[in-house]
């Protein structure tokens, strides 16, 4: 009783209050002192599973998980040219536990084709690192009589407006490439958008569509299996994997810029320390033998670099996409 009475004196109460205040002050420091990451990370991919962006994301997520010591879970949010998945990340807490693995289409093309977005395509994200760039293959169903770009142009002119081409989404790199091709060759074709490379390629193999510009990594296995025929590649040089497939320029279609790229971004406002930690880890991952070999086998060029370099690249690509979208007349309400 005497101890309790002593604690209830003014001096005792003052000491208790001081102790409580000290605990309250230290609690936030204890919370924020937790190392990053301290729980699983969700990686949003704005395309369906099985496409080039998804495959590359899963390759990176696997190594990222090992490097960080936490699970990195790939979450596919396809639809609306990739804007659905990007909206999820834009509205996520900027704490490093929701990251975006996206491609050129959703990042720089779709924002220039959709008149209304629920997020700002530039201000809603902080760039982390540019992963890789990749060319496109122009592929057709092998049952057709199209063996070259010249054959395709002739067929398109004979069947004006009747040939249809697929893409992995409205406003995607594949869509933009085909529209640029139409403009450069003065032909007319009908666009059939899908929610990713996988369903589009399935339709092409089944003969539901006539042709498609697809990312090298997802189209190449179909070409090697003779399920599709490659008639051109959008890179400046021929691919060692398909030395008989000419570049677009070699086919006579000059000045057509096409391809895609992949990058990692986080919600705007994510602490700089987290952005730098992810950047450092991802740059290290890009130098891993297994990752390098996998990306190179997909026809990709490995990039990497600082967040500032990615931001500069991103803004340049955004402006270029805006010009190409305008010329090609691509739009989505």
238-255 burial, b at 16+ Cβ within 10 Å, e below that, comes to: ebeebeebbbbeebebee
Q: What is the pLDDT of residues 266-291, one digit of tens each?
A: 999 999 999 999 999 999 999 999 99
pLDDT of residue 114: 84
Is residue 30 pLDDT above 70, yes or no? Answer: no
Q: What is the pLDDT of residues 225-242, one digit of tens each?
A: 999 999 999 998 899 899
Say yes or no: do domains 41-134+260-328 and 136-251 share a fold. yes
Of 301, 284, 288, 169, whose CA–CA distance to 235 is shortest? 301
Mean pLDDT within 78-85:
89
Strands 41-45 and 72-76: parallel
More confident position, 63 or 327: 63
pLDDT of residue 9: 53
- How far apart CA 47 and CA 82 sit, in angstroms, is 6
Least confident residue range of 10-19, 212-221, 273-282, 297-306: 10-19
Of 210, 206, 205, 201, whose CA–CA distance to 155 is shortest? 210
User: Is 41-134+260-328 assigned to CATH 3.50.50.100?
Assistant: no
More confident position, 1 or 60: 60
Q: What is the pLDDT of residues 147-198, one digit of tens each?
A: 999 999 999 999 988 999 999 887 788 888 998 899 899 999 999 998 888 8
- How far apart CA 270 and CA 136 sit, in angstroms, is 33
- How far apart CA 205 and CA 228 sit, in angstroms, is 7
Average pLDDT, the chain: 88
- How far apart CA 64 and CA 58 sit, in angstroms, is 10
Is residue 20 pLDDT above 70, yes or no? Answer: no
pTM for this one? 0.76
List the chain domain ranges: 41-134+260-328, 136-251
- How far apart CA 120 and CA 122 sit, in angstroms, is 5
The CATH architecture that domain 136-251 belongs to is: 3-Layer(aba) Sandwich (3.40)
Is residue 15 pLDDT above 90, yes or no? Answer: no
């Amino acid at each position: 009783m005497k101890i309790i009475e002593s604690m209830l004196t003014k001096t005792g109460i003052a000491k208790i209050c001081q102790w409580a205040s000290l605990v309250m002050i230290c609690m936030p420091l204890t919370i924020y002192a937790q190392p990053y990451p301290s729980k699983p990370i969700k990686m949003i991919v704005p395309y369906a599973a099985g496409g080039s962006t998804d495959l590359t994301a899963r390759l990176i997520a696997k190594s990222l998980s090992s490097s960080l010591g936490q699970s990195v879970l790939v979450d596919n949010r396809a639809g609306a040219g990739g804007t659905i998945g990007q909206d999820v990340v834009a509205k996520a807490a900027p704490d490093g536990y929701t990251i975006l693995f996206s491609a050129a289409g959703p990042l720089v093309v779709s924002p220039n084709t959709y008149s209304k977005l629920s997020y700002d395509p530039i201000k809603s994200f902080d760039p982390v690192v540019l992963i890789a760039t990749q060319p496109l293959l122009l592929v057709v169903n092998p049952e057709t009589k199209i063996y070259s770009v010249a054959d395709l142009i002739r067929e398109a002119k004979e069947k004006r407006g009747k040939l249809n081409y697929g893409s992995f989404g409205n406003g995607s790199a594949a869509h933009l490439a085909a529209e640029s091709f139409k403009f450069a060759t003065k032909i007319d074709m009908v666009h059939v958008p899908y929610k990713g490379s996988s369903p589009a390629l399935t339709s092409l193999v089944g003969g539901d569509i006539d042709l498609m510009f697809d990312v090298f990594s997802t189209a190449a296995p179909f070409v090697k299996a003779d399920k599709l025929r490659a008639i051109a590649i959008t890179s400046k040089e021929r691919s060692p994997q398909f030395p008989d497939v000419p570049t677009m320029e070699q086919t006579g279609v000059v000045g057509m810029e096409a391809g895609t790229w992949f990058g990692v971004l986080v919600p705007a406002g994510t602490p700089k320390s987290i952005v730098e930690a992810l950047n450092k880890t991802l740059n290290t991952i890009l130098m891993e033998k297994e990752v390098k070999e996998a990306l190179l086998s997909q026809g990709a060029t490995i990039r990497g670099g600082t967040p500032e370099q990615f931001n500069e690249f991103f803004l340049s690509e955004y402006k270029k996409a805006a010009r190409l979208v305008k010329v090609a007349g691509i739009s989505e309400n």
